[in-house]
Amino acid sequence: MSNTEKWKDINKSREKRPKVQEYKNWKELPPIPISLPIDGAIGITGDWRTFRPIIDQDGCNKCGICWMYCPEGSIINKEDGTFEVDLTYCKGCGICAKECPTNNIEMKRESDITHE
Amino acid sequence: MSKARKDFTQEQETKIIKGNVSAAYAAKSARVQVIGAYPITPQTTVVEKLSEFVDSGSMPGTQYIKVESEHSAMASMVGASMTGTRTFTATSGQGLFYMNEMLHWATGTRLPIVTAIASRGPAPPWNIWADFTDVISQRDTGWMCSFCATHQEIYDEILMSYKVCEDYEILLPKFVAYGGFILSHTSKPVIIEDQEAVDNYLPPLPDEKGWPHIFMDPERPMMFGNLIMPSGFYSEFRLKIHDAHMKAKEKIKNAAKEFEKSFGRNYGNGLTQQYKMNDAEVGMLIYGDLALQMEEAVDLVREEGYKVGMVKLRYFRPFPVEDIINIAKSVKVLGVMDRATAFGSPTGGPVSSEVKTAIEGVEKTAKILPMIGGLGGREVTLEQQTEQLKILIKMNETGDAPGDLFHGTLWHGKLEVE
Amino acid sequence: MFFIGWLVIIKNQKGKSWIKLVESKEIIEIFFHGRGGQTAITASQLLAEMAYEKGFIDTIAIPIIGAERRGAPIMAFTKISEKKQIRTYDSVKEPDYMIIFDTSLLDIPRIKDTIKEGVIIIANSPIPIDTTDFPDNVKIYIVDATGICIKREFMHSSGPILNIPMLGAFGKVTGYYDLEIMEKVLKKEFGEKKVEKNMIVATDAYESVKEV
């Protein structure tokens, strides 16, 4: 396959598609700009974080509102029904803490956590 | 999907039909899968005929979407085409202008939508008659654009369009324009081809996999229409659209060649079609319905012993620069007749301005005489067309351009009341 | 056809290049005058179809379309050609035949002006039409199409359907097609069911058209 046909892989099944496509120049590009669903399309956003959400598992009523509201999909719904923050991609926006109906998520300063 | 659509029936048949009906038959022969259209004079009978076809069951499986405006018509075409279907719509003048935003969307997403345009003059003053300003004003949307001179050509050109547009190296939308009323409402014999022959000529209908670059499949999710930052590949994607236009020239030539092989009708090299140009000293470049009548005028003037010829411009986008250069080199005077306006442009006529750009820097080319006439459906008679050729002959003999030019352009057939 | 050629030679003996004009008459031109709703535009289309069915190799029906309303003067043209490809879309200036659906139109000066020397007129009228100020060599046929339609109750929502009797009369006068061809085309156009009544009025007109 020539370089210029690299983009035709996107037509393949989900499993056979490449995870990331890289193009060097305009000739290699697909006809239109597209995004394929992959983890962290624009990088590891976890290092943007200055405040970290801490879920108090004891007070959590497992409603899942944090999971729904998280703009980055960084809240993981675990098999036992509890929720956990994926710190690789959590950028610390605080929306989960704001939306939590039981006020059970605390935003803690990253520097404080490292000092502990 | 394509298997369920085997029951389209059509044997080769000659019908006396309007240009609009010819366009509808072409869509039927091409087995279009989704039609979304809004009626507007003079295009109305295209959609009337198509809805009749769909309603009577002679286009089994085809979806006809009733929309509330031309903007929605094109939006529905974009959406339908994204799912991997062959689509068709038609419009005219103001309706086309209303589509404008979605036209850019169709090019940007590289969807092979074919749209028939029964051209009409832009308002105001209100006008519904032949004038190609409507389709030419969409020049920079990135749509391919061709003109038809006969009823048969409308049918043939729509079929050829699908062949070109759906080529995986091209993937561009296209206008097929013809003069409102002059072609759309007059009736002439048109050969409707055998369904099997058309099926063999056209590429297969897109299957469940859709187009190679864009599809809507939950199993293979993708996101498109994304934002590109200034530092991203924006200009590169634009370059790719231009690249597709440049590549399309070869494809158009091939499509015309194959068409002649399959159906026996010749359309020059696809981009341009010459008439009696071999020994011509004076030529006329002309497009749309006027081109057919100009053939008659060329014959009449030749009977008087003048060596004149005519070139029918079939494609406006992509613009056949190489052909134009060859033509301009082969004659001494070349008239360029526009039935459209490009206000404030170098010549006032869109095609003549482009011709001048095309031959820029080429040595020993013909003198160009830009002409404008027939605007807003004004009748251009055979006598007027012979007169136009004689102006070019006189220009060749004396070396002088005619006296009554307006900023270098001859506005022919202006009304002057005594 | 031969007849037409002869007419043109006579007509153009005053002019200089008569041979060329005879050649250009390979294309026969028919001019329709009617009023909105009198179905003149459909007539121009049907005539093209019948001529093609008869064996003319090329035809074109040209309606002049503007802002029509019931009763407004309507023009349409049909060009038919036995051998030559028709390559013009322009309007007919010197018709060979003129089919007039409504003789009151001749009171309008600009319509009367379209009658040219040598033309053959087929008019819808029960009585001979007033030929004052007509040019020379005009041959006139009349047929009472409106009368036929009323008698046979061949009407649409607001009046008689004149195109069928007028075309029946035209077929008789010119011999370009007969009733059999007419029936074949009408069947194709309107379906089997409606043809019978159409053919009754067409036959009436075919038989009753007369020269005056």
A1 touches chain B (CB under 8 A): no
Q: What would the mean pLDDT of B269-288 be, rounded to a whole number?
A: 96
- Can you give the pLDDT at residue B163? 96
Cβ contacts of B220 on chain A, cutoff 8 Å:
10-14, 17
Task: Show the beta-strand stretches assigned E in chain A.
Answer: 34-35, 51-55, 75-77, 83-85, 105-109
Domain count, chain C: 1
Take residue B10 and report the two structure tokens written for it: 């059509």
User: Which residue from B108, B222, B233 is facing A29, i.e. has the nearest CB?
Assistant: B233
> Could you list the residue range(s) of the whole structural domain that residue C101 is in?
2-10+26-211
Dihedral sign, Cα of residue B298, residue B299, residue B300, residue B306: positive
Take residue B36 and report the two structure tokens written for it: 């979304």
DSSP labels, A3-28: GGGGGGGGGS-TTTS-S-----STTT
B188 touches chain C (CB under 8 A): yes
Cβ contacts of C87 on chain B, cutoff 8 Å:
292-293, 295-296
Q: Where are the alpha helices (DSSP H) in chain C?
A: 2-11, 18-24, 40-54, 109-112, 145-152, 163-174, 179-190, 192-208
Take residue C96 and report the two structure tokens written for it: 């060979």
Phi, psi of B412 (to 5 degrees): -90, 140
Q: What is the ipTM of this complex?
A: 0.90
Phi, psi of C53 (to 5 degrees): -60, -35
Query: Cα separation of C86 and C93, whole Å?
Result: 16
B397 touches chain C (CB under 8 A): no
Q: Which of B155-169, B221-235, C43-57 is the least confident region?
A: B221-235
How far does B323 lie from chain A, in Å, by closest CA?
A: 26
- Can you give the pLDDT at residue C167? 95
Take residue B215 and report the two structure tokens written for it: 């599809």
Q: What would the mean pLDDT of B400-404 be, rounded to a whole number?
A: 85
Read off the CATH number of the domain in which C116 is found: 3.40.920.10
Query: Cα separation of B115 and B162, whole Å?
Result: 10
Domains, chain B, ordered by start: 3-263 (3.40.50.970), 272-411 (3.40.50.920)
For chain B, what is the largest distance between any 2 Cα atoms, rounded to a whole number of angstroms?
A: 73
Cβ contacts of A34 on chain B, cutoff 8 Å:
213-214, 222-224, 226
B369 forms bridges with which residues in the sheet? B335
- Can you give the pLDDT at residue B410? 95
User: Which residue from B185, B187, B292 is facing C65, i.e. has the nearest CB?
Assistant: B185
pLDDT one-digit tens code per residue, B312-336:
999 999 999 999 999 999 999 999 9
How far does A42 lie from chain B, in Å, by closest CA?
A: 13
User: Which residue from C59, C62, C65 is facing B16, i.e. has the nearest CB?
Assistant: C59
Q: How far is CA B23 from CA B44, B57, B326, in A?
A: 11, 18, 32
DSSP 8-state class, residue C127: S
Chains with 3 or more CB pairs closer than 8 angstroms to B?
Answer: A, C
pLDDT one-digit tens code per residue, B32-81:
999 999 999 999 999 999 999 999 999 998 999 999 999 999 999 999 99
B114 forms bridges with which residues in the sheet? B88, B174
Length of chain A: 116
Cβ contacts of C88 on chain B, cutoff 8 Å:
292-293, 296, 382
Domains, chain A, ordered by start: 1-38 (no CATH), 45-115 (3.30.70.20)
Cβ contacts of A26 on chain B, cutoff 8 Å:
233, 236-237, 239-240, 243
How far does B303 lie from chain C, in Å, by closest CA?
A: 10
C2 touches chain B (CB under 8 A): no
Cβ contacts of B16 on chain C, cutoff 8 Å:
45, 48-49, 52, 59, 61
User: Which residue from B16, B185, B296 is facing C88, i.e. has the nearest CB?
Assistant: B296
pLDDT one-digit tens code per residue, B332-354:
999 999 999 999 999 999 999 99
pLDDT tens per residue across all 212 residues of chain C: 344 444 344 333 334 334 434 444 689 999 999 998 899 999 999 999 999 999 999 999 999 877 678 888 999 999 999 989 999 999 999 999 999 999 999 999 888 889 999 999 999 999 998 888 888 889 999 999 999 999 999 998 878 999 999 999 999 999 999 999 999 999 988 888 889 999 999 999 999 999 98
DSSP 8-state class, residue C106: G
| Long-range Cβ pairs for the range A59-68 (8 Å, 24+) | A59/A102, A59/A104, A60/A102, A60/A104, A61/A101, A61/A102, A61/A104, A63/A101, A63/A102, A65/A99, A65/A100, A65/A101, A66/A96, A66/A99, A66/A100, A66/A105
| Long-range Cβ pairs for the range B378-384 (8 Å, 24+) | B378/B129, B378/B413, B379/C90, B379/C91, B380/B290, B380/B293, B380/B339, B380/B413, B380/C90, B381/C90, B381/C91, B381/C93, B382/B293, B382/B296, B382/B297, B382/B300, B382/C88, B382/C90, B384/B412, B384/B413
- The letter for the amino acid at B54 is V
Residue C19 lies in a domain: no
Residue C196 lies in a domain: yes
Whether C89 and B16 lie within 8 Å, measured CB to CB? no
Instruction: Kindly report the pTM of this predicted structure.
Output: 0.90
How far does A10 lie from chain B, in Å, by closest CA?
A: 7
